[in-house]
Amino acid sequence: MVDRQSPLPAYFQIARDLRRRISSGEWKPNDQLPSEIELAVQYSVSRMTLRQALNELEKDNLLLRRRGAGTFVNLAFVELLDGSTRLPMDISTESDVMRMREQVWQQLSTVALPDSRHHWNFDLFIPDFAGSQVCADTVRMLPEYQASKFLFIAPDNSLSLLRRYAVEDGKTLLLATAGLARGFRIILPGMVPAGQEPLAATLEGAEIFSRPVSLDEIRDLGRLDLVLTGVSIITHQGVRWGRGYGYFDLEWAIFCEIGAASQETPIVALAHDCQMVDLDLRPSPSDALVDILVTPGGIQTITSGQQKPNGIVWSQLSKDLLPLIPLLKELYMQRKQQPAL
């Protein structure tokens, strides 16, 4: 049933429970789910809310809707660039993460700062939180930050003050557009007029003061000195979970692919202490592991023993991403044109 007291939206709770029911074997591949009306009654929600939940699972390829026939468990295989296929996700791992997310979000709702677009819907954004200023001030004092000239800061709400500091401190700041659909943007020293740094640090202001930057220009700027990200949850091994779309891992892989990052490039994550979880998540080959975690409670250097990806794991990349992310298609075409060794 839906917990009306939970900070998680009703549709998200339903989607999570439907994942659990599929994972448990209640419905097997090609099984038909009960009708929307029956499910809405089961969960005591409107059909609109129920449809939102089904839409989430359909986006993950777990469900297939057939017009006039109903909704079926899909578990369809995703076609990869090397011609092979894989399941769209590890359902058991996803269920573990979803359970842990709920526990974290219950605590996070007491310290998070609402977003004007998404309010408390933490599956749509990585929130700012009480104590993020302490984290930003701590990062600003890190030797890695003070020595940096060229850095990437993810577009997370919790990193807004850090983006402001980077502009004020004369850093070259690399930014990602939503879903990488428009690639990357850059703010060079001197591009932001004095007094406009707070505006430039916001997602809206960054659009005003930054400009598009090509992969070739990023490559010509040399190696990033520092990469900073927010998290939804993070383990003691440095495995981070954001909104679940994998954009940060892809951004890291692109940087490595063009020579703008390497194993020596530190990844620093900001989080509230309640976002660190005791969950044994085995990192995938594409997971960009965090090296330094900064919370209001202090700094933790993470030594996982695992290497970060050295580039894009093309064999594990869905073909569906190429038309959605032009710069990814650009890199893929460049790779195909390279002579075989």
Higher pLDDT, 6 or 82: 6
- pLDDT attached to residue 107: 76
Q: What percent of the chain has pLDDT over 90?
A: 47
Q: What is the pLDDT of residues 308-322, one digit of tens each?
A: 989 998 887 777 788
Mean pLDDT of the region 161-182: 95
| pLDDT value at 92 more than 50 | no
pLDDT tens digits, 103-122: 776 777 777 776 655 555 55
Q: 76-83: list long-range contacts, CB under 8 Å, 24+ apart.
A: 78/318, 78/320, 79/318, 79/319, 80/315, 80/316, 80/317, 80/318, 80/319, 81/314, 81/315, 81/317, 81/318, 81/319, 81/322, 81/332, 82/314, 82/315
Q: How many other C-beta atoms are found inside a 10 Å radius of the C-beta of residue 177? A: 18
Distance CA 294, CA 272 (A): 8
> What are the residues whose beta carbons fall under 8 Å from the beta carbon of 322, sequence distance 6 or more?
81, 328, 329, 332
For tokens 């499910």, name the residue. 39
Question: Per-residue pLDDT averaged across 176-196, rounded?
Answer: 94
- Residues 209 and 191: beta-carbon distance below 8 Å: yes
Do 162 and 132 contact (CB within 8 A), yes or no? no
What local confidence, expressed as pLDDT, does residue 266 receive? 96
- For the chain, what are the domain ranges? 10-76, 128-337
Give the tens place of pLDDT for each residue, 187-233: 999 999 999 999 999 988 999 999 999 999 999 999 999 999 998 88
Q: Check if the beta carbon of residue 136 is closer than 8 Å to that of residue 165.
A: yes
Q: What average pLDDT does the structure give for the chain?
A: 84
Contact 50, 40 (CB under 8 A): yes
Q: Which fold has domain 128-337?
A: Rossmann fold (3.40.50)
Residues 6 or more apart whose CB falls under 8 angstroms from that of 84 comprise 315
Of the chain, the percentage scoring pLDDT greater than 70 comes to: 84
pLDDT at 97: 61
Classify the C-alpha dihedral 172-176-180-181 as positive or negative.
Answer: negative
Q: What is the CATH number of domain 10-76?
A: 1.10.10.10
Q: Supply the pLDDT for residue 335.
A: 85
